[in-house]
């Protein structure tokens, strides 16, 4: 009895060859997807991404979208404010396909002009930080992706995520901005908070390099606690214990060193920590009065 023929994976074109677009191209190619085209603002950028692939790829600058070849799936990985423009350009082409953008804050509806022309539309957003295109599929493996859009496209989107070693979940389209704000809170904002802590330790006389080495194991231990415990139980330290006099010393030190950003963050996040503990109202009042 002849073996069952393996279903061929779709051809993919990627519009936006920045860090995420390049990582997706490398990762999908390694999972058996054929990368048909790479598009970047400048053709040279797309060519650089193409050198990481072991296959011939159409390389285009953004202004050459009219020359784009047909493909099964078009991944739009440009910045959010450029997605609508790309959709408008694609809608002028004589073929149709499936278009998926990778914005966390925008729903599939930003691609509505394509739906009107017979395209299937959706979004797939990787809930992870991709900082180095050279990491390839390792940067995506094990991550979670939010998937939304036309019902006809959800199965394909989930298959792509699964092939990339990820897990998918869906939210209501209207909740995309709130979802993305939550992602920013634990990614970009945590990075900014880390930078504030570095500034504080520099005020103590450490170099930024040493301060970074000192703080990284601490933040890793906090993440480890969150992997196994609810935030209320994972919380440790001054606010968890209710160390009133320590809080007063912290506030005085922050004021004396003229660390306005750090003081405001300490005050706001301290109040949230106390809300988790559901204890120590006296400290809450002190923080509110700062």
What residue ranges do the domains of the chain occupy?
11-174, 188-289
Residue 286 reports pLDDT greater than 70: yes
Q: Report the alpha-carbon distance of residue 254 to residue 123 in Å, rounded.
A: 43
Residue 1 reports pLDDT greater than 50: no
pLDDT digits (tens, 9 = 90+) for 79-120: 999 999 999 999 999 999 999 999 999 999 999 999 999 999
Residue 247 neighbours by CB under 8 Å, 6+ apart:
238, 239, 270, 283, 286, 287
pLDDT digits (tens, 9 = 90+) for 132-160: 666 667 778 899 999 999 999 999 999 99
pLDDT digits (tens, 9 = 90+) for 182-226: 999 999 999 999 999 999 999 999 999 999 999 999 999 999 999
The pTM for the full model equals 0.88
Identify the pLDDT of residue 8.
86
Residue 20 reports pLDDT greater than 70: yes
Identify the pLDDT of residue 181.
96
Residue 21 reports pLDDT greater than 50: yes
Identify the pLDDT of residue 138.
76
Residue 4 reports pLDDT greater than 70: no
266 exposed, middle or buried (CB, 10 Å; 0-12, 13-18, 19+)? buried
Q: Which fold has domain 188-289?
A: 1.10.1040
Q: Report the alpha-carbon distance of residue 90 to residue 94 in Å, rounded.
A: 9
Instruction: Tell me which of 63-67, 137-141, 270-274 is least confident.
Output: 137-141
Structure tokens at 147: 């998937």
Closest CA relative to residue 150, chosen from 182, 179, 107: 107
Q: Report the alpha-carbon distance of residue 13 to residue 19 in Å, rounded.
A: 15
Q: Which fold has domain 11-174?
A: Rossmann fold (3.40.50)
Beta bridge partners of 123: 101, 148
């Amino acid at each position: 009895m002849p073996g069952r023929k393996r279903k061929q994976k779709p051809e993919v074109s990627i519009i936006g060859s920045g860090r995420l677009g390049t990582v997706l191209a490398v990762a999908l190619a390694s999972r058996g997807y054929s990368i048909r085209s790479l598009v970047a603002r400048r053709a040279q950028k797309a060519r650089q991404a193409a050198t990481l692939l072991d296959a011939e790829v159409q390389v285009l600058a953004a202004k050459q979208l009219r020359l784009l070849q047909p493909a099964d799936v078009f991944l739009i990985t440009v910045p959010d404010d450029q997605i609508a423009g790309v959709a408008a350009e694609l809608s002028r082409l004589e073929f149709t396909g499936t278009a998926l953008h990778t914005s966390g804050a925008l729903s599939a509806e930003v691609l509505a002009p394509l739906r009107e022309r017979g395209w299937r539309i959706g979004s797939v957003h990787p809930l992870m930080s991709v900082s180095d295109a050279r990491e390839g599929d390792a940067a995506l493996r094990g991550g979670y992706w939010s998937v939304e859009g036309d019902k006809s496209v959800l199965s394909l989107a989930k298959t792509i995520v699964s092939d990339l070693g990820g897990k998918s979940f869906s939210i209501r389209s209207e909740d995309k901005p709130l979802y993305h704000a939550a992602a920013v809170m634990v990614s970009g904002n945590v990075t900014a908070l880390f930078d504030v802590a570095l500034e504080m330790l520099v005020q103590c006389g450490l170099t930024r390099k040493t301060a970074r080495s000192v703080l990284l194991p601490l933040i890793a231990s906090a993440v480890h606690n969150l992997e196994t415990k609810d935030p209320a139980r994972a919380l440790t330290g001054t606010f968890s214990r209710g160390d009133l006099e320590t809080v007063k010393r912290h506030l005085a030190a922050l004021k004396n060193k003229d660390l306005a950003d750090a003081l405001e963050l300490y005050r706001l996040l301290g109040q949230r920590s106390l809300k988790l503990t559901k204890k120590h109202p006296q400290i809450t009042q002190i923080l509110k009065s700062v």
